Amino acid sequence: MRSWRSLVFILTVGACLIEGKYRDRDAKRQRPHLFEPVSTAASVNLCEKIPHMKLVCHCTHGNNSEVLGADCWIFNPDVPRKDPIWGAFYPHSSIETLKFSVYKPGNLTFIPTEIIHHLPNLKDFSVQYAQVMEIGSYALANRSHLSRVEFNNCTVVALRRHAFIHHPALVEINLKFNQIAQIDRHAFSNLPNLERLLLGYNNITHLHDEVFIHLGKLAELYLQCNLIGNLSREVFKGLGNLNVLSLSGNRIIIVGDTVFAELWSLEELYLDSNHIEKISERAFDGLNNLKRLNLRHN
């Protein structure tokens, strides 16, 4: 009797194990793989214009049919970071020029840093009419070939620490027509070839001392149409090669002694359309190469 009961127990346990094995196998067949993408890059053609796509790109090609440029329009109000449409960029590491333009009711609230990271040859990056509130640290993924960056009419409020860093080929940054009010002291670092910085038409009230100290090759600095009221010599430290400085349309009342003394290469200085009431006797000391000074409408 004991042998018979033992046999029944063994058969029951074996049946349970076999049933469990097949149940697990069936469950695995029914359950999607955790790392399987919702849509792969192969299923979305970056350059194909299909109705109702969240992102429509006009592509330019090289001699070997590789994609060199993508001018993309966003019409959809919901294009999150994890949207499968971004995967369409992954096969095109050859892209050198990338532009995003947002049209109502479309929306873009972030910088697609992950996409930029997959574009090692990127030289020109532009975004306009987006809702990007800030440019965060390493937002442009340290792209070494990047030569021009533009965020135009993007409602940018803040430039965070290391927003622009480690871009040895960068020549121009255009941030006009935003709402920039905060610029971190270390927002611009290791940009040895930057020549033009456009910060006009924003809400800048204050500039940190030495905020431009790492921009030794900068030739043109545009700060027109902001809310700047005070200037100090330390703000312009490191700008010994600057040729053009525009401070038109700000709220400057007093131009103090030697405030521009660090700008010994300056040729053009625009201080028109401010509220200047007093100019110190030594305000323009050090500007031995100055050729044009505009003080109208003060």
Locate the domains of the chain by residue range: 53-188, 204-297
Class of the CATH domain delimited by 53-188:
alpha beta
The two beta strands, 244-246 and 292-294, are: unpaired
Q: Does the pLDDT value for residue 230 go beyond 60?
A: yes
Residue 102 dihedral angles phi and psi, to the nearest 5°: -105, 130
> Are 53-188 and 204-297 in the same CATH fold?
yes
pTM: 0.85
pLDDT in tens, 168-205: 999 999 999 999 999 999 999 999 999 999 999 999 99
Q: Does the pLDDT value for residue 42 go beyond 90?
A: no
d(CA 60, CA 57): 10
Q: What integer best gives the mean pLDDT of the chain?
A: 88
Would you state the pLDDT for residue 22?
40
pLDDT in tens, 132-174: 999 999 999 999 999 999 999 999 999 999 999 999 999 999 9
CATH classification for the domain delimited by 204-297, as one of 3.80.10.10, 1.10.3720.10, 3.40.50.720, 3.40.50.9100:
3.80.10.10
d(CA 223, CA 247): 5
Return the DSSP state at 32: P
